[in-house]
Amino acid sequence: MKIAFCYPDPAATAWFEELRAALPEAEWEDWSADPTPGPGRSGRAEYAVAWAPPQAFIDLHPALKVLLNIGAGVDALMKLRLPASLMLVRLDDAGMAVQMAEYVCHYLIRHVREFDQFQTAARSGQWQQGRPTDRADHPVGIMGLGVLGERVAQAVRQFEFPVLGWSRLPKQVEGVRCFHGQGQLNDFLSATRVLVCLLPLTPETRDLLGQATLSRLRPGGYLINVARGGLLVEEDLIRLIDSGHLAGAALDVFRTEPLPAGHPFWSHPAIQVTPHISARTLRRDSITQIAGKIRALRRGESVAGVVEWERGY
């Protein structure tokens, strides 16, 4: 079995060595530094393990049957011309779900319990207790009840917030008031105060978080976007915060990454910015999962995380 590896990143060498050690029965070819044929790069691989490969990598592998994506989101791959017969397999969880749960609970609790305000007051030597907050006033709506969204919903439930969820198809998740489809989107939004976005970026979800949707959140709403920057219309968010309808946002993903110098998010007092770190791709967990999936596929078994072309995730 030949496996082509393509990860245009300084970390690629460590990934390549560990993948080779995890699947020593395979013949590995590294295309990371140079996506053209050459010594050790035959172009005859049937399997590929890749993150954000260039179009040339796909074009130079006509025999490719399965591409395993080193990540949960496949929006970057979907921009390429891929053969319709190619099976695309993404990471599912691989250590990311618990990190997402940590991130979302951190910003949710920090916002609802007003910890930033307490810290500011303490810096100026002020003992200001304020009024206690009632978690019933902060229903948390999770957009996307997939591998990551469901794990986040469980974690948020542990803190006894009312939890709502929205997905494409109907779903039942214990302790979560579930909504689905465009027809129930407005009901979901108007019952939500803290909105957590864990949707994939697809033609249907691009720009979904804008004036029309965010203005439906309950007054004093808060946005936590940990999915993809392309889901959010950034100017609309700023307008809704500045008008007082929304209280603020915690953003981990942006339309342009790294977030450009001078972007208004950097300095906005109600916006917390993190550099796309809410759920890191963990090398050991990911390689264990990828190696397990390749072996399962070789035995003719099905695997989790197969992307459906027509829905785009």
Give the footprint of ligand NAP on this chain (CB under 6 A).
72-73, 92, 96, 144-149, 166-169, 171, 198-202, 204-205, 226-228, 252-253, 276, 278-279, 313
- Cβ proximity to ligand NAP: between 133 and 311 the closer is 311
C-alpha to C-alpha distance for 111 and 283, rounded to whole angstroms: 32
Q: Do the beta carbons of residue 45 and residue 286 sit within 8 Å?
A: no
- Nearer to ligand NAP among residue 45 and residue 68 (C-beta): 68
Closer of 194 and 279 to ligand NAP (Cβ): 279
Q: How far is the CB of 145 from ligand NAP (least distance, A)?
A: 4
Alpha helices (H) in the chain, listed in sequence order:
12-22, 55-59, 75-78, 96-112, 115-123, 147-158, 185-190, 211-214, 234-242, 264-267, 283-298
In whole angstroms, the minimum distance from the beta carbon of 100 to ligand NAP comes to 7
Contacting residues for 56 by C-beta, under 8 A, at least 6 apart: 35, 36
CA 291 from centre of chain:
22
Active site residue 276: yes
Contacting residues for 111 by C-beta, under 8 A, at least 6 apart: 194, 222, 247, 248, 250
Q: Name the maximum alpha-carbon separation found in the chain.
A: 69
Contact 176, 161 (CB under 8 A): no
Least distance between ligand NAP and beta carbon 98 (Å):
12
CB of 50 to ligand NAP, least distance (A): 16
Rounded-to-integer distance, Cα 171 and Cα 164, Å: 11
Burial class (CB in 10 A: 0-12, 13-18, 19+), 234: buried
Q: Could you tell me the smallest distance in angstroms from the CB atom of residue 255 to ligand NAP?
A: 13
Q: How far is the CB of 42 from ligand NAP (least distance, A)?
A: 32
* Cβ proximity to ligand NAP, 183 vs 244, nearer residue: 183
Q: Which of 195, 258, 259 is nearest to 227 (CA)?
A: 195
Identify which of residues 51 and 166 has a Cβ nearer to ligand NAP in the complex: 166
Residue 37 or 95 with smaller CB distance to ligand NAP:
95
Q: How far is the CB of 86 from ligand NAP (least distance, A)?
A: 18
Annotated catalytic residue: which of 276, 283, 295, 298?
A: 276
Q: Are 237 and 223 in contact (CB under 8 A)?
A: yes
157 is catalytic: no
Q: Kindly compute the dihedral angle of the four CA atoms of residues 150, 153, 157, 163, in this order, to the nearest 10 degrees.
A: -120
| Phi and psi at residue 20, to the nearest 5° | -60, -40
Structure tokens at 169: 């198809």
Measured from the CB atom, is 45 or 97 closer to ligand NAP?
Answer: 97
Dist. CA 307–CA 286, nearest whole Å: 17
As annotated, the active-site residues are 228, 276
